[in-house]
Every structure is written in structure tokens, then in C-alpha cells.
Structure 1
Amino acid sequence: MVTGGGRGIGAALARAYAAPGVALLLIGRDAERLAGTAAECRAQGAAVETAAVDVIDAEGLARVLLAFDAAHPVDLLIANAGVSGGLQDDRRMETFQSAQRQIRVNLEGAVATATPLIEPMRARRRGQIVLMSSLAALQPIGDTAAYSASKAGILVWGEALADFLAADGVGVSVVCPGFVTSDMSARYLGPKPFEMSADDAAALIRRRLARGHELIAFPWQMVAAIRVGRLLPRRLLRYILGRVPVTIAADKYG
């Protein structure tokens, strides 16, 4: 089960897991994009269902998830749906409405996606929950404060959930990607070091999930730089980060 399955990493992960004998549920807001991903996955032999549901519709989302789980007990749940925001013109702080939307979709949406299937997975004593965070959770960026906060919330919730489910046979992994080619990253107009394709990112994520990694952060060069940076005095790190130009275009997906 993949949310945000119509584009970006979500679509790439759906393709990565699509195979004969696999049943997929793809959830997203854009029915047309979901249909495109579904067609690709069916061509690889998977049985695919789609649902055009917004992850902030917790009740509607739960109905779809539980119905699918009743027919196809979910082994792998990927809470991938996400949005980003940015500053207003003239570098004014982003609006409350923009910040609220990111927190609702990214953080609340992830919780709303995972929660309905936690008890069914516990009852079966198997399953894996994957939560899509970001390297911004490890190193927040001033120009994307709400996005960074929403992704940090996912990381912390995922770590706590992993502790809660450890004795139940249910795994929890948090994924913290760097720059991955997608509609979202195309809106980021600053430098994008070590950017990788969505398909390459999906292959990496799948490999590490198969090995049971609870934190999947990449690319390693960025992770290493973040670790070093966190050892620096805060004022020095702020100065360095302030030298990196960041511009985020408006989100046309609203």
C-alpha cells in the first residue's frame, strides 16, 4: 500500500514492488496520475487497486485501507504522501495556512495512514510500516521551517512507533531522502547536490527495507555532511547554511 502513489518516489516504489502475485493499493489525490502508475504496475503482473483520497481525510482513508486489508492483508504500508511550501515574495515568512497544510499532510497524513492498520498487523504479528521523512528532519532549513518540522515529526513518531511495535513482529522504518528528481524537487531552485532519480531512490529504499533498516537516510555524502555540521557551533552552522541560496516555486498542486 502506497500513498502518494501517482508520482515521484511513491510511483517509483509501486513499480519497484509490482510483480505477479503482488496486490497493490495506490492512494493519491490525482486519479489520472494514479491510473498511469497502476497501468505500469499491472504491466509488470501486479493486481492493482487505486483510490483518489486525500490523506487529511482520515475517516475516508481508514475506510479504504481497512477494506483493502480485509481482502489483501497488508504486508507493507508506505506512507509517502507529502507536500512542501516556501517563503512568500520578498522573503517574507511563509503563511500560517501554508505551514498548517504541510504539517497536516506530511505529519498528520502519515499518522492517519499508518494508524488504521497497526492493530490488524499486531494481530497477525507481521508487517512493515514505512514512513517517508526527509534529510530536512536531520538538518532543518530556515527557509523551509514548517516542512522541516513536519518531517522531523515523522522521524520522531516513527522511532517511537518502532519501539511500541518491536515485540509484535511489526517493523517500522523511517526514510530520509535527500534530493530525488520529482515534481516537488523541481520546485526547489537552489543547488541539489547528489540528486538521484526516483527509480534509483526506490531501488535503494527497497534494498535497505529488505535488510530491516529502521532509518534509511541517503545519499551518504549528505548524511555525513549533516553529521559533521551538527558538531559545529550553531552560529557557525547558521552562517554556512545562510550562504546556500534557496528558492521554492509555488506549489501548483495546491
Structure 2
Amino acid sequence: MLNVIPVTVPGYAQPLVEACTAWLVTTFFSIPVSFFRIFIEAPIDVWRSLSSSDPDVVLITGANSGIGASLAETYAKPDVTLGLLARDERLELIAEKCRDKGANVITISCDIANKEDLAGALIEFDESNPIDLLIANAGQAGVTDDGSAWEDSWQGIMDVNLKGTINTVMTVFKLMEERPHIGGQIAITSSVAAWHAPPQLCYYSATKAALTSLGRDLRYIGRNYNIKVNVIAPGLIGTRMTLGERKPYPFSSWFTASPKNLANIIRWNLFEDNFVITWPYHQFLVDLAISSLPPRVLDSVQWLIGGAWSVVSPAEDKPLT
């Protein structure tokens, strides 16, 4: 065993060392690689737009409202089979709208937190309609609305946002693995909260960060089976989560964007196979900038953000997730 003198950078100097490291990496690696990718990907995108087509079979979870419902209507057209999965009666209303646009719609009533029922429903659908595109969109809002203490609320959020989404993604991933000559595409809905969010959204942000990490790794693994994997990271979109009585962000109704516009952005970016799909983009840039801060600087910023939240939020300093 190599004996090394246990010496490290003093804590007070670490923010400066980390900041300089980040500057060097950005200046001499990130910026050059970004310019290189512009020249490489621009002609590829043109080629895709000329040679690719929309998927024939699309399965969307959480399709009963919000982003999922807007995606369903965006993909609905003649000769397209839509599998719409959710767990309440609002799903049929969305299905009728999609049928009016000429799509063949199959509704699936299922709770993604139920692993056995979910797997059975997905396999049954795929047997008669091999899935070209899965959009794993179902999720639980990052708020506790069942009266339980926030310390005990993690189970429900983890069961739906993390376990349920992983069950969905991996069941379909295995089905696509079996037909590598055809492959497929899987889009995992995360959030800009995966990069940064107020500390009061601790469980919700943890699930979204985990899904983003999963998507990044599956994107690499999936290439061996002709499976494309993408991550959808919406900002503040006008849904029940952001506009409801228990909305997690104070004044969120002032900044929310249209789910229909987001659906169009998602469709085009999936067509181009962009890894992270986010909109409104300026909101993502803010969270990206904060998350890229050196850890000790981020610690100070997080303290300030958490304190500001406690002043403007009706929940004061109580975590909502």
C-alpha cells in the first residue's frame, strides 16, 4: 500500500481552487467541444429532417392532463397508434380528442407504482403494437397533499417518480432490446429541478436528478441495441402542479409557459434526437448556472435561496416534498 501524507487543500481555499478548475475546463474543453458539435450536428440535423419520419406507435404515460395530454394531442394524426396510460377518468377525454384527429387510440388504466400491473399492461400493448416511442411522463407533484409530515412523504414520491418511471422505462427497454434491428426511442421526463431547485423540494429534486442520471447512462447503453434515450426537462409549465392550490413555486403563475408549446418543442427535439430537451430554455440556463457553482459557493447560494423561499412561500420554511 502506498503511504501518502494526508494533505488536502484547506477548506477556505477550496472555493477558489474549484472556481479556477471550472474556468479552465469551460475555457479549454467545454467551449471548443461545443463549437465542434455545432459543425458536426448541423448537417446531421438537416439530413434527419429529410430522411426521418414520426413514429408509428407512441406510448405516453401520465397522458390524462398537463404535458402528457398535450403530447398526446401533438402526436395524434391518421395512421398513428397512441397508447395513453394514466389512472383516472380524465384519460378518456384526451383519448377522444386524439381520435378526432384520426389517431388510433388505446387507453390503458394503470398505476405506474404497481410494478406487476404496469409490466403486464406494457407487454400486452407492445405485443399487438410494437412501441416505437415511449414517453415516460407520469409523475407526482413535488408537494405533500395527504396531510402527512414532510419527513414521511418521501415514499409516495419515490414510488411514482422514481420506481414507477424506472419500471416503465426498463420494461419497454427490454422489449426494444429484443428487436435491435428496429430499436426504438425512450424519453424520460425529468425537470430543470434535476439541476437545481429550492431546498424545500428535496425529495422531488432527488427523483428528477436520479432520472436524469439514468437517462444519461441508458443513452450510452442503448446504442448497442439501436435504442435512443432522451431526457425531457421542463421548466415552469402551466399544469395542475404549478398552478394549483399547492403550487410549489410562489408566483409560479407569472412565469409558466404553455404545455402545448412545450409538446411541440419536445416532438421536434425527439425527432432530432437531442439528449436533454428543455423549455423555456432561459429557465434551464439559470438552474444550470447555479448547479455549476463550486460546492462551497453553492452551499452559500442554497442558503440564500432557501431563506428567500421561506419569506415568499405560504409554507414558510417547511419543505413541500
One of 87, 109, 121 as aligned partner of 2:164:
109
Secondary structure at the aligned position of 1:128 is classed as: strand
Q: How does 1:1-254 map to 2 (within 5 A)?
A: 1-30=59-88, 32-86=89-143, 94-96=150-152, 98-125=153-180, 126-186=183-243, 187-188=246-247, 189-192=249-252, 194-230=255-291, 231=293, 233-242=297-306, 243-244=308-309, 245-247=312-314
In structure 2, what is the Cα distance between the partners aligned to 1:94 and 1:85?
11
My pick for the range that moved more, 100-109 or 217-226, is: 217-226
Q: CA deviation at 1:239?
A: 3.8
> Structure 1, unaligned stretches of length 5 or more?
249-254
Letter of the aligned partner of 2:129 in structure 1? H
Identity percentage of aligned residues: 34
8 Å CA contact 1:85–1:99 kept in 2: the answer is: no
My pick for the range that moved more, 49-58 or 219-228, is: 219-228
Q: CA deviation at 1:161?
A: 1.2
Secondary structure at the aligned position of 2:278 is classed as: strand
8 Å CA contact 1:194–1:219 kept in 2: the answer is: no
In structure 2, what is the Cα distance between the partners aligned to 1:85 and 1:114?
21
Q: CA deviation at 1:182?
A: 0.8
8 Å CA contact 1:87–1:143 kept in 2: the answer is: no
| Matched residues, number | 243
Root mean square deviation of aligned Cα: 1.9
Q: CA deviation at 1:87?
A: 6.4
Structure 2 match to 1:251 = none
The two structures have a TM-score, normalised by structure 1, of 0.90
Q: CA deviation at 1:224?
A: 1.7
Which structure has the bigger radius of gyration?
2
In structure 1, what is the Cα distance between the partners aligned to 2:314 and 2:94?
30
Secondary structure at the aligned position of 1:144 is classed as: helix
Letter of the aligned partner of 2:256 in structure 1? E
8 Å CA contact 1:78–1:132 kept in 2: the answer is: yes
> Structure 2, unaligned stretches of length 5 or more?
1-58, 316-321
In structure 1, what is the Cα distance between the partners aligned to 2:133 and 2:212?
18
Letter of the aligned partner of 2:154 in structure 1? A
Deviations 1:128-156 (A, max 9, x none): 00111011111032111110111111111
The two structures have a TM-score, normalised by structure 2, of 0.72
